[in-house]
């Protein structure tokens, strides 16, 4: 895929984009934004592993060495458009010399990849905070931090380090986009150039779930209805006890959980009316959602969820299916179209109401609620902000904070 004509005011620039695993089955806003930016400008997508706090096991050592070796490979062009490379950080930061190695090697590896794909003048674009020590060290014309989560609240990460990286990058960025509304005020206190940028949705893809011509996925065709559906990774922030309680409370319902299980889900596997698919291609999600009678967002109520902007909220609404969810700041904005539940009994009652009160008109209203919130529109708005920032760009004084490392 060759980029379209460059966006006005951005001619001659490329983007060096630091995100999570490009090849992950679970597609995040990091991927959606990068794919669309790459249609407008040359883009190098840099996988940046290293947020997880490592153990001293041989597995972690071997994994770190494999990632390090990947950094010496030439960037490859992806079918979606971006160039892709891996620039890892050694995670054993308490060992003498590791931090300095990460800084020196990381800058060398990124600059080398930039030369190989022909990117000179660039915008550095961070969607994860831990490679932020490279911010304003690549000769870039502008530094963007697109904060989509409370990263230090993720389970298993090196929380003190990630919090420092997030704080430093928030201050150093020339433009700071923030997706979760709960983080907006704190970010604005750190950086005056903070802009709220909520998630988008692939309206055309997920709208297929409401099209009678869309086939139901093979693994969902014979499920007994009603079918209560979830898609996305099954991580520690999912309230598995809630799902188990719902499934036991309504044994004649089917609970269809579509996505990779990243943690133990043995208790759910033991229930005859719970069906786990494992990872499926992102483009196939509408085929599975075609079987849903209602969708659920069953998150645990912790700091990570309180500060989250769930991508699947808009994706569910774009399918037209009713949605029952726990409460947070972003979800409350959609209270007109979502059944928001406080507690187990309320969640079950919300599902009962969702199934009872659904109608074609209600489905159309849910789809209309997100029809103008496409990823293309989000990226257009973001690039308008970036263009304005470039036009007024002047060197920023040092933030007074030591770079993250």
* pLDDT, position 121: 93
- Distant-in-sequence, close-in-space partners of 156: CB < 8 Å, separation ≥ 6: 52, 53, 236
Sites in the chain below the pLDDT cut of 70 = 1-9, 50-71, 90-94, 394-405
Q: In what order do the strands lie in the sheet with 254-258?
A: 274-276, 254-258, 227-231, 294-297, 323-325, 338-340
Q: State the CB neighbour count (10 A cutoff) for residue 94.
A: 7
- Whether 97 and 212 share a structural domain: no
Angle at 315 between CA 312 and CA 317, to 5 degrees: 110
* pLDDT, position 397: 43
Tokens of residue 290, six digits: 């075609």
Angle between helices 29-37 and 375-391 (to 10 degrees): 70
pTM of the model: 0.87
* pLDDT, position 50: 60
- Whether 158 and 268 share a structural domain: no
CATH number of the domain where residue 143 is located: 3.40.50.11010
Q: What percent of the chain has pLDDT over 90?
A: 67
- Whether 187 and 237 share a structural domain: no
Burial class (CB in 10 A: 0-12, 13-18, 19+), 147: buried
* pLDDT, position 360: 96
Residue 135 lies in a domain: yes
* pLDDT, position 21: 86
Task: Give the chain's domain count.
Answer: 2
What pLDDT, in 10s, does the model give residues 39-79?
A: 999 999 998 876 665 554 454 556 556 666 666 778 999 98
- Whether 283 and 194 share a structural domain: no
- Whether 106 and 34 share a structural domain: yes
- Whether 287 and 351 share a structural domain: yes
Range of the domain at 231: 203-370
């Amino acid at each position: 895929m060759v980029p379209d004509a460059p966006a006005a005011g951005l001619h001659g620039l490329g983007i060096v984009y630091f995100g999570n695993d490009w090849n992950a089955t679970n597609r995040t806003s990091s991927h959606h934004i990068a794919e669309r930016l790459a249609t407008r400008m040359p883009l190098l997508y840099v996988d940046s592993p290293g947020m997880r706090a490592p153990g001293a096991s041989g597995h972690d050592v071997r994994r770190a060495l494999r990632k390090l070796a990947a950094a010496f490979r030439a960037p490859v062009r992806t079918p979606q458009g971006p160039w892709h490379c891996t620039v890892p950080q050694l995670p054993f930061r308490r060992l003498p010399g590791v931090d300095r190695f990460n800084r020196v090697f990381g800058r060398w590896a990124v600059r080398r990849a930039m030369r190989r794909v022909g990117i000179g003048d660039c915008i550095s674009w961070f969607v994860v905070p831990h490679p932020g020590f490279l911010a304003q060290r690549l000769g870039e014309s502008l530094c963007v931090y697109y904060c989509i989560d409370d990263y230090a609240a993720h389970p298993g990460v090196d929380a003190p380090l990630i919090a420092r990286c997030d704080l430093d990058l928030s201050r150093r960025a020339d433009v700071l986009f923030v997706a979760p509304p709960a983080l907006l005020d704190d970010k604005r206190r750190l950086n005056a150039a903070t802009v709220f940028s909520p998630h988008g949705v692939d309206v055309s893809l997920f709208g297929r779930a409401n099209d009678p011509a869309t086939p139901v996925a093979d693994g969902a065709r014979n499920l007994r209805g009603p079918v209560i559906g979830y898609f996305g990774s099954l991580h520690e922030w999912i309230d598995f006890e809630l799902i188990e309680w719902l499934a036991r409370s309504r044994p004649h319902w089917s609970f269809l959980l579509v996505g990779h299980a990243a943690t133990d889900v043995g208790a759910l596997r033991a229930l005859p009316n719970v069906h786990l698919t494992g990872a499926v291609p992102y483009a196939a999600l509408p085929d599975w959602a075609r079987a849903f009678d209602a969708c659920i967002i069953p998150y645990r109520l912790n700091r990570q969820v309180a500060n989250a902007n769930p991508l699947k909220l808009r994706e569910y609404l774009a399918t037209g299916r009713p949605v029952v969810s726990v409460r947070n700041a972003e979800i409350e904005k959609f209270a007109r179209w979502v059944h928001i539940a406080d507690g187990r009994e309320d969640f079950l009652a919300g599902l009962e109401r969702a199934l009872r009160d659904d109608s074609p008109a209600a489905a159309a209203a849910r789809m209309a609620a997100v029809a103008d919130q496409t990823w293309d529109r989000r990226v257009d708005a973001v690039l308008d902000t970036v263009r304005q920032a470039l036009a007024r760009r002047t060197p920023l004084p040092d933030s007074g904070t030591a770079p993250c490392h």
